[in-house]
Structure 1
Amino acid sequence: MLTGCKIAFLGGDARQIEVIQHCSDLDASIILYGYENLKNEFSGAIKKSITPDCFQDMDAIILPVTGMREDGKIDSCFTNKELKLTEEHFKKANKNVVVFTGIANEKLTGFCTENQRCLIELMNLDEVAILNSIPTAEGAILMAIQNTDFTLHGSNAVVLGLGRVGITLARTLQGVGANVFLGARKPEDLARAREMSLQGFHLDELPLIAEKADIIFNTVPATILDASVLVKIQPHALIIDLASKPGGTDFRYADKRGIKAMLAPGLPGIVAPKTAGKIIANSIARLLVEHKSKLGGEI
């Protein structure tokens, strides 16, 4: 339970609704910033406007999965007003506050580090990222089905990167009968591909593999699908880039060659916000209880 815990929520999307509901069910006191247009009513939740000292008695600050922009602005689909954080907010925050975000840029990390505030990046936690890979994989496959005129079964599907998303996506594609080629650099990743009965290849071989690809799913957050690779890809092929912005594809050159390439970060929040929100909510609740225990029962 989170009885006595004061939590500030800032902006976000439909995933945040699930997190708010879960924390409310656990008896937390909730303050909502940037939720003026939200029609849902949560027991014990209060909507307020952000002020310089609004976090001074908060036990947790929960930011959207996308975190905070470099200019301090917070994205929210629940308000038309600007939602912005400055270093003063962190300086005046409760010294024991825990700041949760999906991902953190240098600005947010700097604010928390300089003011000695605990920052947790949820998307770096295996318990979140592994489960989050499920709606990501399903969303990617949905996009592939919607944007091709052939079945995934029997197609040559290339997955680049063997991280949490890459493994789940490759396994799912394999399950629907695609011929899966898995590109990686590390010997242990190539060994894993072999163990999964996939056709593993070193990324240095990508130009050769690209020639026979029907669909390419990229999870590598670096420009890996550059001109030297794109020039080898067949016109009918589809690229779905799942890496964080700006992705790992030269989209300008892909467009010039008439290749359909789509950047698709944040799929869980689009295709399965309820599930994605519950994944985040469960981890936040567990981490807050642990934090409370470390502080001797006082959160």
Structure 2
Amino acid sequence: MHKFLLLGGDSRQLYLSRILTENGFFTVLHSDGDDPDFSLKEAMETCNIILCPIPFTKDKISLFSAHEMNDLGIGNLLSHLTSGHILFGGNIPAYVKEYARKNEIGCFDYMDMEDVTIKNTIATAEGAIAEAIRLSPGCLHQSKCLITGFGRCAKTLALKLKGLDLAITIAGRKANQLALASAMGFETILLSDLEKEIGRYDYIFNTIPALVIDGKLVSLVSRQATIIDIASAPGGVDFEACRQQGIRAKLSLGLPGIYAPETSAKILYEAILTCLSQTV
């Protein structure tokens, strides 16, 4: 039977460890740095499935951990990997994937799994809505809302917000995406036309990982608006301009791990078992 080593990460790793244990798997969890006797080398000699966090790293040096840990350097991890291991993680750097390929090490990136990314849009959307409610003194009901982009997360977010009776406009560059948004019942606008309209929105959700709401657009945003950016860091909003203008704005990352860690862990567990069944 497979033995699992879970390294770093946030509370998703804790829930994932519990789920694995409840299903009869041997697990070792190293995510808070409280065990001075922990040896990565010994743990990796014991376990053949290495479960790294989402994201795999933030500083490109060490595995991401919500708690300060000094023994999770990526180089240290790679030095102990063998062809007997299978590696999992989210947003695994290209050089790690290449190292695994050259050394015949199984490597699976959660973010390359369509089912995982689609299921996680639900937790991301719910988390984004929770962030907006927390940040704003107003009510979502019948507010005017702008969503920039219409990818997976934006679609799910738009549908959730529609259920809360917001008037939603989708902004994008691609005609096919805007056509789909229109067919789903949403108002649409080209990103290039935002200058004319951006001042009328109460809530703005950015999902595009590029600077789309720059200082010029921020200057046109209502001072009562709330901006939630769920694009990957550094996001797509000029936050310094928002601060100077007194506009509530927040880059909200890792929402599934914050608002739905148990559900997210269940999604990962199912994906991991599917991948392992295909390696036999």
TM-score w.r.t. structure 1 length?
A: 0.85
Residue-by-residue CA offset, 1:194-230 (whole Å, 9 max, x unaligned): 1110002222222223121111001111111111211
- Which residue does 2:168 correspond to in 1? 180
- Which residue does 1:75 correspond to in 2? 64
What RMSD over aligned residues (CA atoms) do the two structures have, in Å?
A: 2.3
Residues 1:6 and 2:3 are matched in the alignment = yes
Could you tell me whether the CA contact under 8 Å between 2:4 and 2:47 is conserved in 1?
A: yes
How far apart are 1:32 and its partner, in Å? 2.7
Could you tell me whether the CA contact under 8 Å between 1:70 and 1:107 is conserved in 2?
A: no
Residues 1:26 and 2:23 are matched in the alignment = yes
Could you tell me whether the CA contact under 8 Å between 1:154 and 1:178 is conserved in 2?
A: yes
Equivalences, count? 280
- Which residue does 1:44 correspond to in 2? none
- Which residue does 2:124 correspond to in 1? 136
Partner letter of residue 128 of structure 1?
V
Distance between the aligned counterparts of 2:45 and 2:202, measured in 1? Answer: 54
Counterpart mapping for 1:35-46 below 5 A: 35=32, 37=34
Distance between the aligned counterparts of 1:77 and 1:266, measured in 2? Answer: 11
How far apart are 1:146 and its partner, in Å? 2.2
How far apart are 1:242 and its partner, in Å? 0.4
Counterpart mapping for 1:97-112 below 5 A: 97-112=85-100
How far apart are 1:266 and its partner, in Å? 0.7
Q: Pick the aligned partner of 1:127 from 110, 115, 124.
A: 115
- Which residue does 2:198 correspond to in 1? 210
The DSSP-based 3-state class of the residue aligned with 1:55 is: helix
Seen in structure 2, the aligned counterparts of structure 1 residues 124 and 177 have a Cα distance that, compared at 3 Å, is: same
Residue-by-residue CA offset, 1:128-156 (whole Å, 9 max, x unaligned): 11111112111111222222233212211
The DSSP-based 3-state class of the residue aligned with 2:111 is: helix
How far apart are 1:35 and its partner, in Å? 4.6
Could you tell me whether the CA contact under 8 Å between 2:8 and 2:72 is conserved in 1?
A: no
Could you tell me whether the CA contact under 8 Å between 1:64 and 1:101 is conserved in 2?
A: yes
How far apart are 1:18 and its partner, in Å? 2.1
Counterpart mapping for 1:42-57 below 5 A: 49-52=38-41, 54-56=43-45
Unpaired runs of 5+ residues, structure 2, are none
Residue-by-residue CA offset, 1:61-95 (whole Å, 9 max, x unaligned): 101112134453223346x5413234464354231
Could you tell me whether the CA contact under 8 Å between 2:14 and 2:29 is conserved in 1?
A: no
Could you tell me whether the CA contact under 8 Å between 1:218 and 1:243 is conserved in 2?
A: yes
- Which residue does 1:221 correspond to in 2? 209
Could you tell me whether the CA contact under 8 Å between 2:213 and 2:237 is conserved in 1?
A: yes
Partner letter of residue 28 of structure 1?
F
How far apart are 1:291 and its partner, in Å? 1.7
How far apart are 1:102 and its partner, in Å? 1.7
Q: Which has the higher helix share?
A: 2
Seen in structure 2, the aligned counterparts of structure 1 residues 94 and 6 have a Cα distance that, compared at 3 Å, is: farther
Could you tell me whether the CA contact under 8 Å between 1:193 and 1:199 is conserved in 2?
A: yes
